[in-house]
Structure formats: structure tokens, C-alpha cells
């Protein structure tokens, strides 16, 4: 991706009607250097993504900010499931510090990175949890307690919904990041309709991201939780990804 630099990040954010302060720009530069340092020791992100960090991770994460703001929530409780090196949760938190953010990640070394990152950036009101969504979602302190659940690059839409909707309050929302040609995404969206119904969700809207810098389509699939998720979901670890609800064939519990 050409011209991956902070000026371009600022310009692209302007196109999304997002303004950024000098402190926020500084936070992103600290984020990028810490990621670079850690990436020499462990694979937090690909080399190519690291070279294009401003667009591949920062800008892409921030494409959800207008949709998040449009929900009009005050001090929302937000969960990022399978956050990896903090995407999209940490960039969103840098831009909207009033949110109460929980970062959930299964890999211990990634949560170690997140602890150092959030300390270095002096991020307040952030909780880092090492664990799997299939287990954490049955914890009564977590289940049905979030206003918004975010998921990026976590798997097929159906699996993502099983890992995220149980955490959401009724009337709360899920924002799932998807990329690729819309023609490829449509079957995935169709396949997820059974999961949406079974898990207590409803389509809210699909936001198309209007930025030329990405050479594929970017969508945010936004759902609303309208009914309680049956207590058997999510199923045991690995099951949501291996046999997604609605996949042709049998959905095993």
C-alpha cells in the first residue's frame, strides 16, 4: 500500500469525518514502535501489515468509530473478542477514551503485549483478559454485560456471532469487521442468518467503508441483540469455528 504514513492516516480519517489530536497521533506512534519491537521476538502481526500499520491496522480499526458514535452511548462498556495485538479495540479507545474497554485474547503472549502497551500509553479504564470466548461467555460477570462487542478477523460470521452475541446486553450491538469482495461475503452473511436467529440477534445495518485506500471492500456488519442467548451457547472451545451454526449439515452441540 503506497504512502503508509501518519499524514495519510490523518487525511483518510478526515474523509471519515474523524479529527485527531496531537496526543492521539503520538499514542499511535508509540503503539507502532512497541509493535515493531515485540514483533522481532514474536509474530504479533505480519511483516507486510507492520510496514503498512497506519492503514492496515489503525485506519481499518477506526472505520468503526462513526458507527460506534452513531449508537449514542455514554461511557459504553465495550468488548473486543480475539483482539490479538489490540485491533480494533485499542485504536478505538485512543480516539474515544470515555469507553470502558475489555480486551479478550486467548494467547498469553499477546495479552502480555497488551499489558505493556496499555501501560505505556497510560490507557485508563481498560481490562485485559487472557482466555477463550467460549469459556468467558459463560461467566456471569461477563455474559450479557456489554453494550457493544467488536470482532475483527476472528472467523466466519456465524462463528463470530456465537463468540460475541452471548456477551452482549439486550439492545446492545455487535460490530463485525469483514473484508473482501461483497460477492464473496454474501454467502457468509446468508449462512449466518440461522446463527443470528438462534443466538437472539437481528440485523441492524451493514456499513460500507467509503475509502479508496483499501483495494478490497470493507464492511461492518452490525447486529442488535433482541433476545437472550440460550445458555448452551457458545458451545465448547473450538466448536463454533469447526461446526458453525447453520453450516449445511448438522450443527453439533
Residues that bind ligand SAH (CB under 6 A): 82-84, 87, 104-107, 110, 132-134, 152-154, 163
Measured between alpha carbons, how far is residue 151 from residues 3, 19, 79, 88, 159 in Å?
27, 24, 9, 8, 11
CB of 104 to ligand SAH, least distance (A): 6
236: number of Cβ within 10 Å: 11
Minimum distance of ligand SAH from residue 150's CB (angstroms): 8
CA distances from 102 to 75, 126, 142, 247 (A): 13, 6, 10, 30
Distance of closest approach, residue 126 Cβ to ligand SAH, in angstroms:
15
- Smallest distance from the beta carbon of 161 to ligand SAH, in angstroms? 13
With respect to ligand SAH, which residue has the nearer C-beta, 33 or 75? 33
CA separation for the pair 79, 196 (Å, rounded): 19
DSSP string of 201-251? EEEEEEEEP--TTSSS-EEEEEEEE-SPPPTT-S-STTHHHHS-TTSSS--
Nearer to ligand SAH, 29 or 43 (CB): 43
Considering the complex, state which of residue 105 and residue 147 has its C-beta at the smaller distance from ligand SAH. Answer: 105
Nearer to ligand SAH, 90 or 196 (CB): 90
Whether residue 111 is preceded by a cis peptide bond, meaning omega within 30 degrees of 0, is: no
Q: Of the two residues 110 and 178, which places its CB atom closer to ligand SAH in the complex?
A: 110
Q: Which is nearer to ligand SAH, 9 or 171 (CB)?
A: 9
Measured from the CB of residue 133, what is the shortest distance to ligand SAH in angstroms? 4
Which phi and psi angles does 45 have, rounded to 5°? -155, 160
Alpha helices in 121-192 (DSSP H): 133-136, 157-164, 182-191
Nearest to 199 by CA among 235, 237, 238, 225: 225
CB of 72 to ligand SAH, least distance (A): 25
Amino acid at each position: 500500500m503506497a504512502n503508509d504514513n501518519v499524514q495519510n492516516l490523518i487525511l483518510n480519517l478526515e474523509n471519515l469525518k474523524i479529527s485527531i489530536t496531537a496526543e492521539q497521533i503520538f499514542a499511535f506512534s508509540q503503539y507502532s514502535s512497541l509493535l515493531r519491537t515485540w514483533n522481532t521476538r514474536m509474530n504479533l502481526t505480519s511483516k507486510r501489515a507492520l510496514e503498512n500499520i497506519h492503514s492496515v491496522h489503525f485506519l481499518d480499526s477506526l472505520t468503526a468509530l462513526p458507527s460506534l458514535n452513531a449508537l449514542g452511548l455514554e461511557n459504553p462498556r465495550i468488548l473486543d473478542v480475539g483482539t490479538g495485538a489490540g485491533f480494533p479495540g485499542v485504536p478505538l479507545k485512543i480516539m474515544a477514551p470515555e469507553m470502558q474497554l475489555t480486551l479478550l485474547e486467548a494467547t498469553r503472549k499477546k495479552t502480555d503485549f497488551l499489558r505493556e502497551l496499555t501501560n505505556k500509553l497510560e490507557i485508563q479504564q481498560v481490562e485485559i483478559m487472557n482466555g477463550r470466548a467460549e469459556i468467558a461467555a459463560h461467566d456471569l460477570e461477563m455474559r450479557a454485560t456489554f453494550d457493544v462487542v467488536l470482532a475483527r478477523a476472528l472467523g466466519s460470521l456465524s462463528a463470530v456471532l456465537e463468540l460475541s452475541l452471548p456477551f452482549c446486553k439486550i439492545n446492545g450491538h455487535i460490530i463485525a469487521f469483514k473484508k473482501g469482495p461483497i460477492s464473496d461475503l454474501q454467502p457468509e452473511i446468508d449462512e449466518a442468518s440461522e446463527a443470528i436467529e438462534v443466538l437472539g440477534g437481528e440485523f441492524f445495518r451493514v456499513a460500507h467503508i467509503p475509502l479508496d485506500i483499501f483495494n478490497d471492500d470493507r464492511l461492518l456488519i452490525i447486529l442488535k441483540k433482541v433476545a437472550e442467548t440460550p445458555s448452551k451457547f457458545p458451545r465448547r472451545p473450538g466448536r463454533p469455528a469447526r461446526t458453525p451454526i447453520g453450516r449445511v449439515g448438522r450443527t453439533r452441540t
